[in-house]
A and B are shown apart, each in its own frame.
Chain A
Amino acid sequence: MTSLPENTGKKLGLVIDLDICVGCHACATSCKEWNTGGYSAPLSDHDPYGADPSGAWLNRIHSYEVGEGPGSKTVHFPRSCLHCEEPECVTVCPTGASYKRAEDGIVLVNPDTCIGCKLCSWACPYGAREYDFDDGVMKKCTLCVDRIYNETIPEEDRVPACVRACPTGARAFGDLGDPSSAVSQSVAARGGFNLLEEFGYKPVNKYLPPRTGASDRDPAIVTQPERMPKPDGSAVERLFAWADQALSR
Chain B
Amino acid sequence: MHPAYSVILFTTASGAGYGLMFWLSVAYALGLTPNSPFVLFVAMALALLLITIGLISSTLHLGRPERAMGAFSQWRSSWLSREGVAAVATYMPSGLLALLWLIGVESSLTIPLAILSAVGAVITVYCTGMIYASLRTIRQWHLGLVPANYLALAAATGALLLGFLLAVFGYAPAWTATVSLLGLAVAAALKVHYWQTIDADPGQYTAEMATGLGHLGRVKPLDPPHTRPNFVMREMGYEVARKHAEKLRRLVVAFLFAAPGLSMLLLLTVGGWGATLFFLLAIVCASVGILTERWLFFAEARHVSMLFYGSARA
Which residue numbers of A lie inside 8 Å of B, CB to CB? 1-3, 18, 23, 28, 52-57, 60-68, 71-75, 77, 79, 88, 90-97, 113-119, 121-127, 129-133, 135-137, 193-199, 207, 209-210, 212
Contact = CB atoms under 8 A, between A and B. Distances in A.
Given A75-B213, A196-B210, A65 B303 contact: no
Interface residues of B, number: 61
A220 B225 CA distance: 34
B277 interface: no
Query: Which 8 residue pairs are nearest across A and B when measured between Cβ atoms?
Result: A116-B63, A67-B217, A136-B63, A127-B305, A95-B70, A63-B223, A94-B81, A60-B225
B74 interface: yes
B135 A77 contact: no
15 contacts: A57-B230, A65-B220, A66-B216, A66-B220, A74-B222, A79-B308, A90-B77, A91-B77, A94-B84, A96-B70, A115-B70, A118-B235, A125-B136, A136-B63, A195-B212
Label chain B's interface by main secondary structure.
mixed
Contacts of A197: 209, 212
Contact of B236 (A2, A54, A88, A121): A121
B80 A119 contact: yes
B244 interface: no
A131 to B, nearest CB: 5
Contacts of B223: 23, 62-63
Nearest to B213: A66
B36 interface: no
B79 interface: yes
B73 A96 contact: yes
B223 to A, nearest CB: 4
B248 to A, nearest CB: 22
Contact of A72 (B62, B217, B236): B217
